Amino acid sequence: MPATYEPIATTTLGSAAADITFSSIPSTYTDLKLIITGTSATNTVQPRLQFNSDTATNYSNTSISGDGTAASSTSQTSAAYMRITPNSTSSSTIPVFYNIDIFSYTGSTYKTCLLVGNADLNGSGVTQSSVGLWRSTSAITTIKYYMSSGNLNSGTTATLFGIKAA
C-alpha cells in the first residue's frame, strides 16, 4: 500500500531532450503532483503538458499572471495541449519552476489541475497560477512535459509524486 505522499519517479536529463514523459503511472494514488525545474534550449518558449498521448483539442486553461508591472488573466480553449504557463517564460540559462497538482487522476470526471509557474530573470519574469482541464474521463497513465519549441536542457529535473487519501 503506498504511503500518503511519496515520489513515484524522478528524471534528470543527462543531455538535452525533446520531452520528459512519465508512463505506466500507478493508479493507487488519489492525486499527483509534478515538480519541474530546468532550462530550455530556446528562450521564451511555452511549457506544456499532454496526458495519455492525447493530441486532440481536449485541453483548456484559465490563468492569472503578474509580470512585475501588471496583472493579467488569459484563457486557453480547445487546445491540443495544456499550457503550464500562458506566457513563454522559459530561459536557456536561469531555471524556472513549475508545480502542477493533478486531482483525482483515476476518477470518472474530467481531469482538473492547478498549475503554478515561476520565473524570475532579474529584470523580467512572471509568476502565474492556472486551473487546467483535460476533457477526458480516462485515468491518467502518462504525462508528457515539453516546450512549444526546442529541447529541454540537460539538468532539467522533473519529479512525480503520488498523494493518497484515506
Partner 1 sequence: MTLQNFTLGTFSQGAAGGATAFESIATATPSGVSTITFSSIPGTYQHLQIRGIGRTARVATNDTMNIRINGDTASNYSFHQLYGSGSAVAAQGSATQANGEWGQMAAASATASVFGTTIIDILDYASTSKYKTIRIMTGWDNNGSGQIWLGSVLWQSTTAINSVTLYSSTTNNFATSSTFALYGIKGA
Q: Which residues bind partner 1 (CB under 8 A)?
A: 1-5, 30-31, 60-65, 71-75, 77-78, 101, 103-104, 107-110, 112-114, 116, 129-133, 135, 137, 163-166
CA distance 9 to 149: 25
Q: Which C-beta is closer to partner 1: that of 21 or that of 104?
A: 104
Least CB distance from residue 30 to partner 1, whole Å?
6
Q: Which C-beta is closer to partner 1: that of 108 or that of 122?
A: 108
Pairing of strands 157-163, 5-12: antiparallel
Least CB distance from residue 17 to partner 1, whole Å?
29
Q: Which C-beta is closer to partner 1: that of 43 or that of 159?
A: 159
Contact 28, 162 (CB under 8 A): yes
- The alpha carbon of residue 133 and the mean position of all alpha carbons in its chain are separated, in whole angstroms, by 12
Least CB distance from residue 18 to partner 1, whole Å?
27
User: 51 φ, ψ to 5°?
Assistant: -110, 140
Cell triple for residue 30?
Answer: 488519489
Instruction: State the DSSP code for 40.
Output: B
